Amino acid sequence: MGSRFPSHQLSNGLYVSGRPEQPKERTPTMSSVAMPYTGGDIKKSGELGKMFDIPVDGSKSRKSGPINNAPSRTGSFGGAASHSGPIMPNAASRASYSTSGPVSSGVTSGSASLKKSNSGPLNKHGEPLKKSSGPQSGGVTPSGRQNSGPLAPALPTTGLITSGPISSAPLNSSGAPRKVSGPLDSMGSMKIPSSVPHNQAITVLSQDEDFDFKRNFPKPIFWSLILLFVMGFIAGGFILGAVHNAILLIVVVVLFSCVAALFGWNTFWGRKAIISYIARYPDAELRNAKNGQFVKISGVVTCGNVPLESSFQKVPRCIYTSTSLYEYRGWGSKAANPTHRRFTWGLRSLERRAVDFYISDFQSGLRALVKTGYGARVTPYVDDSLAIDVNPGKEELSPEFIRWLAERNLSSDDRIMRLKEGYIKEGSTVSVMGVVQRNDNVLMIVPPPEPITTGCQWAKCIVPASLDGIVLRCEDASKNDVIPV
């Protein structure tokens, strides 16, 4: 057939126009060896074993991707294998999966009764795609590729330390994915809200360590006085109504007024009386102090292993810090705490901490370890170095104060507030009252086993007060000259 348009005949006898296609050269496919999991055995590590002239178990190496022109090997198989394409090299060790496409002919011979049905899609390396339903994590089982639900990683332990999780979710103690609720970060772990971790070396003090005359006064005596005065008022009123004699009622009123005035006096001047008692208590020398003796030591303090930092002013290297926030409650204001009464100042927030520190005695020059950390009982009498009065209705809040409130999730909604902060920094002069304890060559001052009493101060009309634990006394640290240590 003559025509100026070129044409050619196909293999089925059909003539088509155009020139026949030139056969394209097939690009050689690169084979990549996927190293098996060795479990720490160098004989299974492939090329690494060959470097040290160690016989390598080659039957467990697995190749991914088709291999061309591989010689086929015959063997005695008990089961029939039906393939559409070259067989995968490690086909003898795989069972119960479906493949379709080119299968390489690197089948090892042996007497294995395996039945293979190869049909289905292949991945980009020529390996069959595994059918599964549900997430899989980590481990791969040699048989039973059709799964439902998560698979636990079945990797043997080798002692190898790695970083990062082995799956996309946190694991429990058995290695299976753990179900968690809440937001997860990129590493699959739960986010923990930022908070100051509690250190056992830091003693967190409460408001109970403050001087309170009502708390120091013995409860049985207090309630006995209340009962006597109630009975006196009842008797005085009865006598006044019966015989019209007011002498008993007047006596009861005078006595009640004296007792009330005494209570008010001690409530107002009690703290100053205790500070005066500590100042008058004689200092002792650590050189001559006996084991178990209650002493007062005055000297320069230095930080121990765990120094503190003040909360608001960020003063570093402190052995004691105290930051308190008070609020004034008017007629329509909110209460700062459940016991806050109207027209008074109430404590809203308190951060008071103490740690172990060293004190160098002025008398002898010896240094002792003062055990005020690890939950020890401490009674501090430390003057405040900062006092800020804040009235949001009349002035704007400072950025530092707003930051301090935000860090503690405290609101500032038109409340009259007062912030006080005191601290004892390294190099300050401090007076410490406690019990001397000698342990080998270590000299320590520890809390006394029982509270001590200050005794009555008749000249000042001060009733006895109790001091529990180690007593710390320091004046305003910001005004004192700090000795560099």
Per-chain mean pLDDT for the chain: 73
More confident of the two residues 379 and 66? 379
- Listing DSSP states for 246-268 in one string gives -HHHHHHHHHHHHHHHHHHHHHH
Contact in structure between 464 and 453 (CB atoms under 8 Å): yes
Tell me what pLDDT residue 381 has.
Answer: 94
Residue 428 is classified by DSSP as -
Q: DSSP strand E in 290-356: where?
A: 294-303, 318-329, 344-354
pLDDT band at 484 (very low <50, low <70, confident <90, very high): low
The pLDDT confidence band at residue 108, using thresholds 50, 70 and 90, is very low
What are 284-328's pLDDT values in tens digits?
Answer: 999 889 999 999 999 999 999 999 999 999 999 999 999 999 999
Residue 93's pLDDT band, with cuts at 50, 70 and 90, is very low
Tell me what pLDDT residue 19 has. Answer: 73
- Shortest CA distance to 310 belongs to which of 325, 320, 298, 324? 320
Of all helices (H) and strands (E), which one includes residue 417?
strand 417-425
Higher-scoring residue by pLDDT: 139, 421: 421
Average pLDDT for residues 457-481, to the nearest whole number? 83
Q: What is the percent of the chain with per-residue pLDDT over 70, rounded to a whole number?
A: 60
Q: How far apart are CA 166 and CA 158, in angstroms?
A: 14
Question: Which of 28-42, 147-161, 339-353 shows the lowest mean pLDDT across its residues?
Answer: 147-161
Checking if the pLDDT of 253 tops 70, the result is yes
At 260, the pLDDT band (50, 70, 90 cuts) reads very high
pLDDT of residue 331: 86
Do 225 and 258 contact (CB within 8 A), yes or no?
no
Assess whether pLDDT exceeds 60 at residue 81: no
Give the separation between CA 289 and CA 466, rounded to whole angstroms.
23
Q: Burial, 275: exposed, middle or buried (Cβ in 10 Å; 0-12, 13-18, 19+)?
A: middle
CA 214 distance to own-chain centroid: 38
Specify the higher pLDDT residue, 241 or 135. 241
The whole-number pLDDT of residue 435 equals: 96
Given a contact cutoff of 8 angstroms between Cβ atoms, the answer to whether 235 and 248 are in contact is yes
- pLDDT of residue 370 exceeding 90: yes
In this prediction, residue 24 carries a pLDDT of 62
Q: How confident is the model at residue 189 (pLDDT cuts 50, 70, 90)?
A: very low
- In 3D space, the residue among 473, 477, 471, 445 whose CA is nearest the CA of residue 279 turns out to be 473
Going along 128-284, which residue ranges are E strands? 132-133, 147-148, 203-205
